[in-house]
């Protein structure tokens, strides 16, 4: 291994605001610590919460740095005490609490996943956040089973593209919503059984027809607001609603009667503030259940665009334009 540099390039936010607060600067390379590995980052995934953090509405959890970036892929260059099963030179991807938009980052060994042979490191960088989120919310929390009907809103987002592929791989019927004919067509190529352009069609009416009024078994929602009552209205008996974002609003006037009469479950979660042990449990679930499908090429990340670290501002602008399909990735040049 070549000697480690003492400083690295990293992205930071010069205050809270729009993409124009994004800067690139230098910082010391982190020192490896027990239970952790130091990773030379090749690529880092961009996620919606990075933009919300930049806008000042989603601070990094206690103990994490303010440097953005929650998922990376790269090579391990130093291994901390107590780390088993990982060694220098291993190619991995990982969920990190912060600091992914940098040339080097510390990752908890328990949250590292071997790079699947089917993917390169750029593709692998687009997997951790969506794989952890979808596995935990659709399968652990949402209990999706083969033969059930699954509705995921935002089918062309990072979450949506992963959720469609995984749900199909596990034998569910998938309905999704997207905002243009091109995006709807793309969802079909991912395997979605029914795609509804939510800008031109009422998803409630469409799903009543698709399910012959029986309703869906599980909804994964990122919209909130007016969608909460609508989701509940098209959920069947013992159906589950898992809320993972409120892109429209976290407040709504909700008609709860179907929840009571049809014994529905309303739940949700965030990932970032959970303890390491809780995240490690999700990582183990991903390793055992999702990674074999990725290795087999049945589930793959959809990479929309890559940008050099210096162009993180343009990457955030693209993310917030919603013009993308799948993931946007930053490259360190390593
Ligand atoms: N709670 C958690 O653990 C967790 C973890 C990861 C991400 N998230 C959140 O989940 C959300 C999705 O993440 P992501 O990475 O997939 O973001 P993304 O790539 O930006 O995708 C979001 C998609 O939602 C679509 N959309 C917007 N309004 C919609 C509506 N009314 N109906 C249907 N689709 C709509 C947009 O496309 P079109 O409108 O153009 O179709 C966009 O492609 C984000 O808000 C993110 O912060 C939560």
What are 91-105's pLDDT values in tens digits?
999 999 999 999 999
Q: What is the 3-state secondary structure (H, E, C) of 214-282?
A: CCEEEEEECCECCHHHHHHHCEEEEEEEEECCCCCECCCCCCCHHHHHCCCEEEECCCCCCCHHHHHHH
- Which of 95, 186, 200, 222 to mutate for ligand 1's pocket (most ligand atoms within 8 Å of CB)? 222
Q: Is the pLDDT of residue 158 over 90?
A: yes
Domains and CATH numbers, the chain: 7-127+272-331 (3.90.180.10), 133-268 (3.40.50.720)
Distance 293 CA to ligand 1 centre (A): 23
- CA dist 144 and 138 (Å) reads 6
Q: 43 near 329, Cβ under 8 Å?
A: yes
**pLDDT score for 1:** 60
- Which of 234, 305, 322, 323 to mutate for ligand 1's pocket (most ligand atoms within 8 Å of CB)? 322
**pLDDT score for 2:** 64
**pLDDT score for 218:** 99
* β-bridge partners, 272: none
Locate the ligand 1 atom nearest the alpha carbon of residue 227 and give its number: 31
Locate the ligand 1 atom nearest the alpha carbon of residue 179 and give its number: 41
**pLDDT score for 63:** 86
**pLDDT score for 4:** 86
Residue 39: exposure state from Cβ atoms within 10 A (0-12, 13-18, ≥19)? buried
**208: pLDDT confidence band, cut at 50, 70 and 90?**
very high
- CA dist 289 and 293 (Å) reads 7
- Which of 151, 159, 268 to mutate for ligand 1's pocket (most ligand atoms within 8 Å of CB)? 159
* Bridging pattern class, strands 112-114 and 91-95: antiparallel
**pLDDT score for 176:** 98
**pLDDT score for 42:** 98
3-state secondary structure of 36: strand
**Mean pLDDT confidence for 13-28:** 97
- CA dist 319 and 59 (Å) reads 19
Q: 28 near 101, Cβ under 8 Å?
A: no
Residue whose CA is at the smallest distance from ligand 1 atom 21: 157
Which of 296, 238, 306 shows the shortest CA–CA distance to 266? 238
**312: pLDDT confidence band, cut at 50, 70 and 90?**
very high
Residue whose CA is at the smallest distance from ligand 1 atom 34: 154
- CA dist 19 and 210 (Å) reads 41
- CA dist 299 and 289 (Å) reads 11
3-state secondary structure of 177: strand
High-pLDDT (> 90) share of the chain, %: 96
Residue 158, number of CB atoms within 10 A of its CB: 28
Distances (CA, A) of 288 to 41, 200, 294, 333: 24, 40, 11, 31
pTM of the model: 0.97
**pLDDT score for 62:** 86
With b meaning 16 or more CB within 10 Å and e meaning fewer, what string describes 302-334? bbbbbbebebbbebbbbbeeeebbbbbbbbbee
Distance 215 CA to ligand 1 centre (A): 23
CA 86 to chain centre: 24
**Mean pLDDT confidence for 324-328:** 97
**Mean pLDDT confidence for 183-188:** 98
Q: Is the pLDDT of residue 3 over 90?
A: no
Q: Is the CB of 49 under 6 A from ligand 1?
A: yes
pLDDT digits (tens, 9 = 90+) for 112-121: 999 999 999 9
**37: pLDDT confidence band, cut at 50, 70 and 90?**
very high
pLDDT digits (tens, 9 = 90+) for 41-81: 999 999 999 999 999 998 888 888 899 999 999 999 999 99
pLDDT digits (tens, 9 = 90+) for 239-283: 999 999 999 999 999 999 999 999 999 999 999 989 999 999 999
């Amino acid at each position: 291994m070549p000697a480690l540099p003492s400083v690295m390039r990293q992205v930071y936010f010069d205050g809270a605001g729009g993409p124009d607060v994004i800067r690139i600067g230098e910082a010391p390379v982190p020192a490896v610590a027990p239970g952790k590995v130091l990773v030379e980052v090749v690529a880092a995934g961009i996620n919606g919460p990075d933009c919300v953090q930049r806008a000042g509405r989603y601070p990094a959890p206690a103990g994490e740095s303010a440097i953005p970036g929650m998922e990376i892929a790269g090579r391990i260059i130093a291994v901390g005490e107590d780390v088993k099963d990982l060694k220098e030179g291993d190619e991995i991807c990982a969920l990190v609490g912060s600091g992914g938009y940098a040339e080097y980052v510390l990752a908890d060994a328990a949250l590292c996943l071997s790079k699947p042979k089917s993917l390169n490191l750029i593709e692998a960088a687009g997997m951790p956040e969506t794989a952890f989120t979808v596995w935990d919310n659709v399968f652990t929390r949402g209990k999706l089973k083969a033969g059930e009907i699954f509705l995921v809103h935002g089918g062309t987002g990072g979450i949506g593209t992963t959720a469609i592929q995984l749900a199909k791989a596990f034998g569910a019927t998938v309905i999704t919503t997207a905002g243009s004919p091109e995006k709807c067509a793309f969802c079909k190529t991912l395997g979605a059984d029914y795609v509804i352009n939510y800008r031109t069609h009422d998803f409630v009416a469409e799903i009543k027809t698709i399910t012959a009024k029986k309703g869906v078994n599980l909804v994964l929602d990122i919209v909130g607001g007016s969608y909460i009552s609508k989701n509940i209205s098209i959920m069947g008996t013992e159906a589950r609603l898992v809320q993972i974002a409120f892109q429209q609003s976290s407040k709504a006037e909700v008609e709860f009667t179907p929840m009571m009469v049809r014994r529905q479950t309303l739940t949700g979660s965030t990932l970032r503030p959970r303890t390491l042990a809780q995240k490690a449990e999700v990582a183990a679930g991903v390793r055992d259940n999702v990674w074999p499908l990725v290795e087999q090429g049945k589930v793959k990340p959809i990479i929309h665009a890559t940008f050099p670290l210096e162009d993180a501002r343009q990457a955030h602008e693209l993310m917030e334009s919603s013009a993308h399909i799948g993931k946007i990735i930053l490259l360190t040049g390593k």
